[in-house]
A and B are shown apart, each in its own frame.
Chain A
Amino acid sequence: GESVGLHLPTLSVQEGDNSIINCAYSNSASDYFIWYKQESGKGPQFIIDIRSNMDKRQGQRVTVLLNKTVKHLSLQIAATQPGDSAVYFCADFNQAGTALIFGKGTTLSVSS
């Protein structure tokens, strides 16, 4: 079916460490994936996206890796900062290709 989930509900890191947030998906036909960040009391904010014809895409301090063989993607945040503390969601298309289906999220806590 179409479901997107994350391996861990919470992740705690020290400031300056690298963070890795994982996500597994079940829809093998998915060809587009996207990561969002949601700070407390706010709407989700776009971080980075990747199409299935790519294995890796880099942004500013973030990298998304896609492993289609095991239907897994990850978000890597370099030199994590307290401002990175938020809930991170991965998402992919629904079967109709009309909407994003979100996982439950990983809460990242960064301590100084």
Chain B
Amino acid sequence: GAGVSQSPSNKVTEKGKDVELRCDPISGHTALYWYRQRLGQGLEFLIYFQGNSAPDKSGLPSDRFSAERTGESVSTLTIQRTQQEDSAVYLCASSPQGLPGELFFGEGSRLTVL
């Protein structure tokens, strides 16, 4: 499709397990962002990739969180040893060049940690 694609759309896991969330940005977009949105809350910035530059990881809440991006394509957000407080919707966005400018969001991956 033409938009940002995220998978899985829903993930239920047990506390302590690792999870991987995938994001396919819009083709040609050099910038990619991950955000977390807890129920009823705003979006919390996690990490930013721009081309081949070093990512801005300043929003990652702990060392259990990591993300990778292959060139200017797919990104994977990994959460190790999941905790119940990790339950949230994880949103990915891409943009042609980064800010300022519109970020195009995917539908998100809803993570539930039991």
* Partner pick for A43 among B98, B99, B107, CB 8 A cutoff: B107
Query: What's the interface size class on A, roughly?
Result: 20 to 34
Please report the C-alpha to C-alpha distance between residue A101 and residue B42 in the assembled complex, in whole angstroms.
9
Instruction: Decide if B106 is an interface residue (CB 8 Å cutoff).
Output: yes
Please report the C-alpha to C-alpha distance between residue A46 and residue B104 in the assembled complex, in whole angstroms.
8
Instruction: Decide if B1 is an interface residue (CB 8 Å cutoff).
Output: no
- Interface of chain B residues 43 through 64 with chain A (CB within 8 A): 43-45, 48, 50, 56, 58-59
Closest chain B residue, CB of each to CB of A91: B43
**Most chain A C-beta atoms within 10 Å of own C-beta, residue among B42, B56, B58, B99:** B42
Contact B56 A44 (CB under 8 A): no
Contact A99 B42 (CB under 8 A): no
Contact A99 B41 (CB under 8 A): no
Instruction: Decide if B65 is an interface residue (CB 8 Å cutoff).
Output: no
* Partner pick for B100 among A43, A44, A51, CB 8 A cutoff: A51
Closest chain A residue, CB of each to CB of B47: A99
Contact A32 B100 (CB under 8 A): yes
* Partner pick for A99 among B59, B101, B107, CB 8 A cutoff: B59
